[in-house]
Structure 1
Amino acid sequence: MAEQTTEQTCPQCGLDMPVDAGYPVWCTGCEWNVAPELFVYGLGGTAARRRELAGRHSEGTFEELAREGTRGRRARLTASYVLSYALALMVHGLSFALLGAGVGLLVAGGGNPVAWAVGVPLVLLFLVLLPRFPRLGSRVPRLERADAPRLFGLIDEVAGEVGTRGVDVIVVDGRVNAGVHTYGLRQRVLHLGLGLWAVLTPQQKVALLGHELGHFAGGDTRHGSVVGSALYTLRLWVEVLRPERWNGRVARVLVALPLTPPHHAAQSVLSLLEKVSLRGFPRREYLADDLAAEVASTEGARDLMETLLHAARIDDELHRLAADLSGPHETLWAQLADRVAAVPPRERERLRRVSALEWHQQDATHPPTHLRVELLDRRGPSTPKVVLDRRTEKAVERELRPSARRLARTIAQER
């Protein structure tokens, strides 16, 4: 832990401010200099406007769950949920409607050249625009069950506690993040960022798995096959139908102009499905946090949220360490964990307060982090259902070691 060197007097309220070398000096009383990077002096107008304009839906969902509690609650059937499925089925149905119309024209028209001139392109268009499912790709490094039985066993145990099944594949990368989604028909993948996994305590790791698997347990539409494949298909449509792909005067008249209306239509439907499927995400994120607390303990889930406040700093530290790395590549992750563990308590508290000032969110799909932490605090303490013991943690580390070594080498070479 960083050594506390001296104290300063707050120029605004006169309180003593402990100084941690290498970290901003700030006042716990009046919050002087709590966010120097935002040029916020106390709670000024800029912060107030940011509070007012950002995360209104997230805040409304927070107030609802704060009143009613999160324990035992799961994602509910909402208008946005139904509409997202309706749009997804419409997208998939349109492809088969093209096929049906094309085949119908060919069969009914017999040898009519007009029927063939229209029917054949419709069938060919179906082959281009048919429903697609996300794929991992053959070159994506992955872990199968045989490669990491203890890690998959841990995931299965957590999945059983949150009420779903585990994943089929794990993709390990160097990001300070994690996520799940489906690929193929019903295959599940966990993207595990070592930049995050390496710095977490055992129960924070359980909480991370509980949160991500909680998306499957909660029926999140964007993580499922129907809506997920529709989004993937629409993105392909937008790219395939893009008029700018066709150069030249003749191609622009014969191909680009006819493609413009369907391209704009696909883009509009994609934008609508993106917005509708995101509409219920604050509630689902809050409830995924609740499942994380249920399986790992409230403390473990809360500590995970606070670690995510350091994501940008962790990423910067990872690349700094990689640039100066001496010794075996795999030691990079242990060094990173030591650096994060050394962040002093006052700096952790400062980041919690800054997260409320700037309405910090991991991305557009996540509610503000300080609201997630507050909702976990209101939940109250809980006993973990899954405990990651030292023996299992070491076994998982051994299974991840080849990936850790490869990623550390790649990150070091990028510098």
Structure 2
Amino acid sequence: MTDTTSGTRTCPGCGAATVSLAGAAPWCAGCEWNLDAYDGRRRDREFGWAWLDRWTYRLAFRMTRSQYARLVGRPLGANGRGAAALLTAAASLVLIGAVAALAVTGVWLLVAFSFPSLSVLLGGALLGLAVALRPRFGRLDPDLEVLTRERAPELHALVDEVAAAVGAPVPDVVGVDGDLNAYAGLVGVRRRRVLCLGLPYFGVLGPQERVALLGHELGHFVNGDPRRMLLTQPAFTMLGSAADLVRPVDTVSSGGLVEMVGEALGKAFGWVLSRLLFGAHLVLVSLALRDSQRAEYLADEMSARAAGTAGAVGLLDVMLATESTALAVRRESRAGHGADRWRTAAAEARAAAEDRLPLLRQLSVRDEVSLFSSHPPAGLRRRMLESRPAHEAAVVLTEERMARIDAELAKEYARVAREISWAG
């Protein structure tokens, strides 16, 4: 249980008593004074140096709040994209061009000179480097349990309805796994659209929350998320891969002084180059993720169009209760219960935390901020939805239809419940 406490001081901005949850640094629930405080006890280290983690947190907080202020009240699809999206695309094109140049140069050196020669060796090295740095297209997760239309017709029919409601293409692959999560992505050279529903997550949701989840995930196929676009994916991976390739590794050497000096110089050069490449990777990714956060706001808007604003807002509140949801699913799974009890137990946990939800939403703005987060804080996502005209549900999932979907997934629910109970 998350304890709510009053602070020992009053807010210097409005004079109200400060509040805190679970030992967090106190803040004012009214004017949000001190909500931007860096609370190192509650945050994982990102760089390991306290001063740097504090500085990057404050930068991330300013950028996140600034983006929210810029987007609130505006059409997210038409006007939301800005400099971050253009920079990501431009950087990806430059990186793809650089890898293509390495490959072309390597092939030319291989065919233009006869073996043996240093040019041929260099050509082979450049070609190998180009292969190592090539864009990755991804592949299906081996843990994904694929559900065909014949195997789960009711689920596929619901996915089709929600896709039509948000103007998204139907996924080529629909599957489930045992994670408390869900995702949509593109894999392979043919860019097959994949929708994965984590059963512990899908199973605890109410009818309209399930529609909201589908609307959000399917929205990623049309919201311009740079993490899922072939043109912009290199910005997220290629510099990091290059940094890994040149990072020095410890080797056992029995050579003389000259060899030791040469090895030390090589390691020093590799260390510097690796850090420079990795630093550039971090800067590029942190900028690219600004556009990913814009895309998340747009996916939330699509979620509300499909499920209604109430359903989309309810889904965001479930995200705030991830720990209690996981605990409820684990407890019921160990007791031999299935998805119906998961949902009941998770709803009871949320109801018990109802009074604390407004503070949890505020605290998420502090806790979930990061330069390297692909999602805006849940509290800001809810505010963004509430700032817009309310949507009525375009797709209504009845209890009877939801029961038929769960019946189709009964075997998968039972398997996941066993895995959760065995995991301890």
Give the TM-score taking structure 2 as reference length: 0.78
Q: Which of the residues 192, 197, 220 maps onto 2:202? A: 197
Cα distance in 2 for residues equivalent to 1:391 and 1:288: 27
Query: Which residue of structure 2 aligns with residue 224 of structure 1?
Result: 229
SS at match of 2:168: coil
CA shift in 2, pair 1:228/1:41, >3 Å: closer
Mapping of residues 145-156 of structure 1, within 5 Å: 145-156=149-160
SS at match of 1:286: helix
The one-letter code sitting in structure 2 at the alignment partner of 1:88 is: S
Query: Which residue of structure 2 aligns with residue 38 of structure 1?
Result: 24
Q: Which of the residues 401, 412, 416 maps onto 1:403? A: 412
- Deviations along 1:200-233, one digit per CA (max 9) or x if unpaired, are 1111111111112222211111122233355345
8 Å Cα contact 2:143-2:177 kept in structure 1 = no
- Deviations along 1:287-322, one digit per CA (max 9) or x if unpaired, are 221111111111111111112111121112323333
1:271 matches 2:248: no
1:316 matches 2:322: no
Larger displacement relative to structure 2 (215-224 or 259-268): 259-268
Percent of aligned pairs with the same amino acid: 29
The one-letter code sitting in structure 2 at the alignment partner of 1:273 is: L
Query: Which residue of structure 2 aligns with residue 243 of structure 1?
Result: 248
1:123 matches 2:134: no
Query: Which residue of structure 1 aligns with residue 83 of structure 2?
Result: 79
Cα distance in 1 for residues equivalent to 2:322 and 2:138: 27
The one-letter code sitting in structure 2 at the alignment partner of 1:293 is: A
Mapping of residues 358-377 of structure 1, within 5 Å: 359=365, 364-377=373-386
Mapping of residues 105-184 of structure 1, within 5 Å: 105-110=109-114, 113-138=117-142, 140-184=144-188
CA drift at 1:26: 7.2
Cα distance in 2 for residues equivalent to 1:396 and 1:75: 38
Cα distance in 2 for residues equivalent to 1:261 and 1:40: 41
SS at match of 1:280: helix
Q: Which of the residues 343, 346, 353 maps onto 1:347? A: 353
Cα distance in 2 for residues equivalent to 1:55 and 1:48: 7
Give the TM-score taking structure 1 as reference length: 0.80
Larger displacement relative to structure 2 (230-239 or 293-302): 230-239
Cα distance in 2 for residues equivalent to 1:45 and 1:383: 35
Larger displacement relative to structure 2 (57-66 or 358-367): 358-367
1:99 matches 2:125: no
CA shift in 2, pair 1:257/1:217, >3 Å: same
The one-letter code sitting in structure 2 at the alignment partner of 1:49 is: A
Cα distance in 2 for residues equivalent to 1:361 and 1:215: 24
- Deviations along 1:343-396, one digit per CA (max 9) or x if unpaired, are 465622312223214525667222222222222222233221112233432232
Cα distance in 2 for residues equivalent to 1:247 and 1:131: 33
SS at match of 1:167: coil
CA drift at 1:110: 4.1
Query: Which residue of structure 2 aligns with residue 378 of structure 1?
Result: 387
CA drift at 1:146: 4.1
CA drift at 1:399: 2.8
CA shift in 2, pair 1:245/1:349, >3 Å: farther
1:49 matches 2:20: no
Cα distance in 2 for residues equivalent to 1:183 and 1:245: 35
- Deviations along 1:92-127, one digit per CA (max 9) or x if unpaired, are 222221121112123333457232232222223333
Larger displacement relative to structure 2 (262-271 or 161-170): 262-271
SS at match of 2:390: coil
Cα distance in 1 for residues equivalent to 2:392 and 2:111: 66
- Give the number of aligned pairs: 385
Query: Which residue of structure 2 aligns with residue 207 of structure 1?
Result: 212
1:284 matches 2:272: no
The one-letter code sitting in structure 2 at the alignment partner of 1:354 is: L
CA shift in 2, pair 1:217/1:319, >3 Å: same
CA drift at 1:191: 2.8
Query: Which residue of structure 2 aligns with residue 187 of structure 1?
Result: 192
SS at match of 2:324: helix
Larger displacement relative to structure 2 (193-202 or 383-392): 383-392
Query: Which residue of structure 1 aligns with residue 43 of structure 2?
Result: none
8 Å Cα contact 1:183-1:225 kept in structure 2 = no
CA drift at 1:335: 1.9
8 Å Cα contact 2:187-2:193 kept in structure 1 = yes
Cα distance in 2 for residues equivalent to 1:100 and 1:48: 50
Cα distance in 2 for residues equivalent to 1:171 and 1:371: 30
8 Å Cα contact 1:50-1:358 kept in structure 2 = no
Larger displacement relative to structure 2 (342-351 or 115-124): 342-351
CA drift at 1:261: 5.9
Query: Which residue of structure 1 aligns with residue 94 of structure 2?
Result: 90
Query: Which residue of structure 2 aligns with residue 12 of structure 1?
Result: none
Runs of 5+ unmatched residues, structure 1: 1-21
8 Å Cα contact 2:329-2:346 kept in structure 1 = no
Cα distance in 2 for residues equivalent to 1:154 and 1:382: 19
Query: Which residue of structure 2 aligns with residue 7 of structure 1?
Result: none
Cα distance in 1 for residues equivalent to 2:78 and 2:413: 35
The one-letter code sitting in structure 2 at the alignment partner of 1:201 is: G
